[in-house]
């Protein structure tokens, strides 16, 4: 009887604890939108070298599905009840992959989710993927310190900082998300052109 009494008390305690825990707040989950659905392929020379795209490194504040915002000064916050479908570094890597595929000059593409070896690897550090306020004016800021390295020995071949600021006329979350898509598209175009240009310099053409 004593054991049964103790068990009942334990069950009651668990039930009571569950009833007083705060309920998880539902979140709207957003994909990173793209405005390049009708983008034409590049007319440049197709490249025969292969490229592996790696997720850029990021701070803890950016390496999460939260939609980051800096409302003032150095305070990093996030939009309530809204999040990305993946952490920001994954979103940007996938957008870059899509950009190379649409461009068409580099066809031998892979990501760091696989173990395929490639001639070159594109990675770097994601320094900003957030909304920033200056007074009442808001902009989406995407900043990537890109690194291009040789695949077989990880030798650094080229580096460059890319930054896009997309002004926001509307600061509702759907409009902010659209701004992230526009900024990411602009940055992707710049990175793709740079990487192809650098790859042409560092990878010797095949022998005839």
pLDDT digits (tens, 9 = 90+) for 74-132: 999 999 999 999 999 999 999 999 999 999 999 999 999 998 999 999 999 999 999 99
Q: What pLDDT score was predicted for residue 2?
A: 45
Beta strand 66-72 with 75-84: parallel, antiparallel or unpaired?
antiparallel
Buried b (16+ CB within 10 A) or exposed e, 3-25: eeeeeeeeeeeeeeeeeeeeeee
Q: Please answer whether residues 148 and 120 qualify as being in contact, where contact means their C-beta atoms are separated by less than 8 angstroms.
A: yes
Q: What is the pLDDT of residue 20?
A: 54
Distance from C-alpha of 185 to C-alpha of 164, rounded to nearest angstrom: 10
pTM of the predicted model, to two decimals? 0.85
pLDDT of residue 136: 92
3-state secondary structure of 89: helix
Per DSSP bridges, beta strands 57-58 and 120-134 are: parallel
pLDDT, residue 186, reads 97
State which residues of the chain have pLDDT below 50.
1-19, 38
Q: Which residues pair with 146 in a beta bridge?
A: 124, 160
pLDDT number for residue 43? 74
pLDDT at 42: 74
Strand extents, DSSP E, 31-188: 47-53, 57-58, 66-72, 75-84, 106-111, 120-134, 137-150, 156-168
């Amino acid at each position: 009887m004593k054991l049964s009494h103790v068990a009942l008390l334990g069950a009651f305690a668990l039930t009571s604890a569950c009833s007083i825990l705060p309920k998880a707040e539902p979140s709207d989950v957003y994909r990173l939108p793209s405005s390049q659905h009708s983008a034409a392929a590049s007319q440049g020379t197709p490249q025969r070298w292969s490229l592996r795209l790696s997720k850029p490194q990021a701070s803890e504040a950016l390496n999460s599905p939260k939609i980051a915002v800096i409302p003032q000064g150095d305070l990093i916050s996030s939009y309530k009840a809204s999040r990305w479908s993946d952490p920001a570094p994954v979103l940007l890597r996938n957008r870059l992959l899509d950009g190379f595929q649409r461009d068409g000059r580099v066809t031998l593409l892979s990501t760091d989710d696989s173990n395929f070896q490639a001639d070159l690897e594109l990675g770097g550090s994601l320094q900003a993927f957030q909304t920033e306020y200056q007074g009442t004016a808001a902009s989406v800021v995407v900043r990537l310190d890109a690194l291009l390295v040789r695949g077989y020995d990880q030798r650094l071949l080229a580096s460059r900082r890319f930054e896009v600021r997309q002004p926001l006329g509307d600061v509702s979350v759907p409009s902010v998300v659209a701004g992230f898509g526009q900024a990411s598209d602009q940055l992707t175009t710049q990175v793709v052109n740079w990487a192809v240009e650098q790859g042409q310099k560092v990878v010797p053409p095949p022998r005839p």
